[in-house]
Amino acid sequence: MPGDAWRERPAAFIYRALQRLLYFVLAARPKTLPAALVPLAVGTGVASASGPPDWVSVVLGTLTLLLLQILSNFANDLGDALKGADTTHRAGPARMVQRGHLSVAAMQRAILAVALLALAGGSWLAVREGAWVVGAGLVGLAAALGYTLGRRPLAYRGLGDITVFLLLGPVAVAGATALSWPALASRGAYAGVAVGALAAALLMVNNIRDAAGDAQAGKRTLVVRFGRRWGEAGYIGWLMLAYAVVGVGAGRAIFPLHSAATFVLAPLAVYIAWRLLRSEGSALNAVLELTALHLLLFGGTFAASLFLT
């Protein structure tokens, strides 16, 4: 009946809208978002040594960094699809543009919308904190878009690891510290070395898993350039660096002694490294999830120890 068809249209429209929203949520890669939350937590913890944090700026900073992380994930979904790095043989989670769930135009519009939201949050933050936020925000925006988009994307030139390490590590943590106590920014940068190392380890697993497809698409990650064994050694090295930073910091009173509580997670780190050495293909997805969990637990424990100074 025509009347029955008319009544079904709203339900079909709602279903398609929810499905489309789900595709955007999947493209945002929620499991990677702890990499954006941890720097803010640790930086705020460093700042708490001198007094109460500026919670309004901390919340604005958290939202802005989350938007930049989502922006980067959207750009990666689009950029890798356009350059052929994502194929139907991909071992990792499905990418939305490559699978045809989202069109190129739809993802471009989403990227523009998220970039504008990040700029709005950063502008509000700059009004509160000063012009330095503008510079940091523009660098973050350029890195998020330039990671896989453009003529010479960072990830395709083997610069992804150092970019992730610096921006999600020393830069982000120092910036988060400066939101409340600028004088402690250098201590925040030191703490950020540990956070950035774990974020780089997360990327290393991703690059080991995708090495074959990346090589075919001309994505010259460090794993593609130097091989899997180098990637495995790099992963273990990043983990060791994170623990060394906290250990030395606690031993030299840069951080409180009880920040060494992070070492209770060392057995988990050893186990994940063991899993990495014995995993191939899609089995590395579990290693990636464990690495993200370790980053979240390490960052949470480290931040909590700093708050309890």
Taking all residues of the chain, what is their mean pLDDT, rounded to a whole number? 88
Q: Specify if 141 maps to a domain.
A: yes
pLDDT score at 6:
47
Average pLDDT over residues 34-60: 88
Q: Which residues, other chains included, contact 215 with Cβ-Cβ below 8 Å and sequence gap of 6+?
A: 224
Write down the pLDDT at residue 90: 57
d(CA 114, CA 70): 8
Whether residue 9 is contained in a domain is answered as no
Burial 103-141 (b: 16+ CB within 10 A, else e): eeebbbebbeebbebbbebbebbbeebeeebeebbeebb
Mean pLDDT of 184-192: 95
What confidence category does residue 1 fall into, taking pLDDT thresholds of 50, 70 and 90?
A: very low
Confidence (pTM): 0.87
Is 58 within the bounds of a domain?
yes
* DSSP assignment string, 217-273: HT---HHHHH-HHHHHHHHHHHHHHHHHHHHHHHHTTSS-GGGGGGGGGHHHHHHHH
- Any idea what the Cα angle at residue 200 is, between residues 197 and 201, rounded to 5°? 85
Helix pair angle (104-129, 132-146), 10° resolution: 160
- pLDDT digits 0-9 by tens, 238-268: 999 999 999 999 999 999 999 999 999 999 9
pLDDT for residue 210 is more than 70: yes
In a domain, 190, yes or no: yes
Q: CA 295 → CA 11, 240, 266, 301, distances in Å?
A: 41, 13, 12, 10
Residue 33 pLDDT exceeds 70: yes
Q: What number is the average pLDDT over the span 182-187?
A: 92
Q: Which residue has the higher pLDDT, 3 or 224?
A: 224
Task: Tell me which of 114 and 18 has the higher pLDDT.
Answer: 114
**What are the CA-CA distances from residue 167 to residues 69, 92, 103, 174, 175 (Å)?**
11, 24, 29, 10, 10
DSSP string for residues in 106-128 = HHHHHHHHHHHHHHHHHHHHHHH
CA atoms of 107 and 78, how far apart (whole Å) = 7
In a domain, 207, yes or no: yes
Highest mean pLDDT among 53-57, 68-72, 75-79: 68-72
152-179 pLDDT, tens digit each: 888 888 888 999 999 999 999 999 999 8
| Residue 120 placed within a domain | yes
Q: Identify the H or E element spanning 4.
A: helix 2-27
| Per-residue pLDDT at 302 | 96
- Looking at residue 272, its pLDDT comes to 97
Contact between 177 and 188 (Cβ < 8 Å)? yes
- Asked whether residue 228 is assigned to any structural domain, the reply reads yes
Question: How many domains is the chain built from?
Answer: 1
For Cα atoms 207, 209, 195, give the angle at the middle one, nearest 5 degrees: 45
Residue 218's pLDDT is what? 83
Rounded to whole angstroms, the Cα distance separating 152 from 130 reads 32
Whether 115 has a pLDDT exceeding 50, the answer reads yes
CATH of residue 278's domain is 1.10.600
Asked if 306 and 195 count as a contact pair (C-beta separation under 8 A), the reply is no
Mind listing the pLDDT tens digit for each residue in 252-308?
A: 999 999 999 999 999 999 999 999 999 988 899 999 999 999 999 999 999 999 998
Percent of all residues in the chain with a pLDDT value above 90, rounded to a whole number: 48
Rounded distance between C-alpha atoms, residue 109 and residue 75, angstroms: 11
Sheet strands (E) in the chain: none
Q: Is residue 231 part of a domain?
A: yes
The answer on pLDDT for 120 being more than 70 is: yes
87/285 Cα distance (integer angstroms): 16
Query: What residues make up the domain containing 294?
Result: 30-307
